[in-house]
Amino acid sequence: MRIDLYTKTILAVIAILLTTIVLKPIGWPAIVLAQSPLSGVQFASGPDGLEFLDTKTGDVWVYTPVQGASKPEFVAVHMGRLTRLGQPMVPPK
């Protein structure tokens, strides 16, 4: 069976396009942004509610649930700023 010029052309175009798809990540890598507004925030669930520590600023926040609310509600309380381990927190301004 003899392969004609049309079939060879189509196969060549497919091969070129597949090569382009395979080599694209090498030539033009994707830009990735890993920093989000909440990066560096640590979370813990405590007896008083939800506790958050911003490791960039040292701010400590506690979200306590509202008693008797018809839907889940939380009140945010800024506990202060943690400046050094083993030292008292600086009260909020």
Residue 66: inside a domain, yes or no? Answer: yes
| HEC sequence for 12-66 | HHHHHHHHHHHHHHHHCCCCCCCCCCCCCEEEEEECCEEEEEECCCCEEEEEEEC
Look at residue 5 and tell me whether its pLDDT is greater than 70: yes
Residue 31 resides in a domain: no
Q: Which residues pair with 51 in a beta bridge?
A: 44, 62
Residue 74 placed within a domain = yes
Give a yes or no: residue 5 inside a domain. Answer: no
Residue 89 lies in a domain: no
Domain count, the chain: 1
Measure the CA–CA gap between 49 and 52, rounded to whole angstroms.
10
Report the pLDDT value the prediction gives residue 1, as an integer from 0 to 100. 58
Domain span including residue 58: 41-81
pLDDT tens profile 25-81: 887 777 777 777 788 899 898 777 888 999 888 898 888 888 888 887 888 888 888
| Residues in CB range of 39: below 8 A, 6 or more apart | none
Give the pTM.
0.53
